[in-house]
Amino acid sequence: MNDCLAARDLPTLPASVRIVEVGPRDGLQNESSVTVGDKITLVNQLSAAGLQYIETGAFVSPKWVPQMADSEDVFHGIHRTSGVIYAALAPNLKGLERALAAGADEVAIFASASEGFSQHNIHCSIQESLARFKPVIAQAKSSGIRVRGYLSCVTDCPYDGPTSPQQTARIAHALYQLGCYEISLGDTIGRATPLRFAAMLNACLSDIPAEALAVHCHNTWGQALANIYQSLLMGISTIDTSVAGLGGCPYAPGASGNVATEDVVYLCEQSGIHTGIDLQKLALAGEAICQRLGRRPSSNAALAYIAGRTQT
Ligand code: HMG
Ligand code: MG
């Protein structure tokens, strides 16, 4: 290292991160051409690559998101690796019942920090959604299942415009008080940049410990890795990612996929942050599902790996 760069100039980063792989859910909830078999193969490849938390499906209304209607079949078909958490979305009691019957290890409810997205995504106001989640959390807990809470539109909403940090912090805290063990802060349309993201995180951190926060960055404007690095600097060490950068939300027009798992694994491992994930196996899993979808992975790290392999 250059002598001019004293050790005190280097930022402090977490020693390890927990990656929440959302590809089989967030990544595929917009895709209608994927079979149950493809989904099962993907989940199995992800666990073989070392992912410890895989959001495997969504027990939402098939009327609204038909692409997730086969979640029971996916849960029944996967090979369960010991220690891996196979989770699912459960927006209401009906969803929770289905998740429990399918053997989900954990469920996630999902709220919005903005009214517009709440109405479009789950057809109720923020307050109504919080009331709806109360019995879901109580029932999940009495069944021995932990509940994760997503909060969408934490900096920007496709319908209402910018969301204030105070508004996001208020609803994040409400979800935390309802009993969610972790709040995943979603930049649903990927518009945030690091300073605005930091202001939002600061507001949330005043009421919720860093250990109970996760970040969920869609990469529509190419800012996800920058926002994730900012989150790591602020002590947040749970990161939602999607293999090959798959995905988007059916109710966030134009939103592209989550940050690619491969890119986050590369960033972390090269920065001395342990992920426990085998990048090569992960890139192969992403390549396989992308071949099935007829497109290239949206991951620079995966594309660099694939290019390197074909050169040798
Ligand atoms: P609702 O729209 O208010 O209507 O549901 P409902 O309660 O009257 O139900 C409509 C129909 O769906 C009824 O059937 C229900 O029985 C049925 P019908 O009487 O018409 O035959 N139904 C269900 N069926 C199976 N499982 C269920 C279920 N619930 C109702 N669980 C609800 C409200 C929230 C359920 C609905 O609007 C819904 O499922 N929306 C889906 C929203 C969704 O999945 N969005 C994408 C995921 S969120 C996301 O991507 C953001 C995130 O990634 C974070 C980020 O990026 O910001 C998490
Ligand atoms: Mg999402």
Q: Give distance in angstroms: CA of 98 to centre of ligand 1.
A: 13
> In sequence order, which residues have a C-beta less than 8 Å from that of residue 186 and are 6 or more positions away?
150, 151, 152, 153, 154, 216, 217, 218, 240
| Smallest CA separation from ligand 1 atom 32, residue | 122
16-311: CATH number:
3.20.20.70
Residues identified as active-site? 249
Ligand 1 pocket test, candidate residues 28, 61, 249, most atoms within 8 A of CB: 61
Residues 230-253 have a mean pLDDT of: 91
260-301: pLDDT as tens digits: 999 999 999 999 999 999 999 999 999 999 999 999 999 999
| Smallest CA separation from ligand 1 atom 2, residue | 123
Pocket lining for ligand 1, CB < 6 angstroms? 26, 29, 58-65, 91-92, 94-95, 98, 110, 121-123, 150, 152, 186, 188, 216, 218, 249-251
Q: Give distance in angstroms: CA of 187 to centre of ligand 1.
A: 20
Over the chain, what is the mean pLDDT? 95
Who wins on pLDDT, 302 or 5?
Answer: 302
**Where do the domains of the chain lie?**
16-311
- Rounded to whole angstroms, the Cα distance separating 186 from 247 reads 14
Residues 125-143 have a mean pLDDT of: 98
pLDDT at 5: 56
Phi and psi at residue 53, to the nearest 5°: -140, 115
Q: Give distance in angstroms: CA of 22 to centre of ligand 2.
A: 8
| Smallest CA separation from ligand 1 atom 50, residue | 249
| Smallest CA separation from ligand 1 atom 10, residue | 61
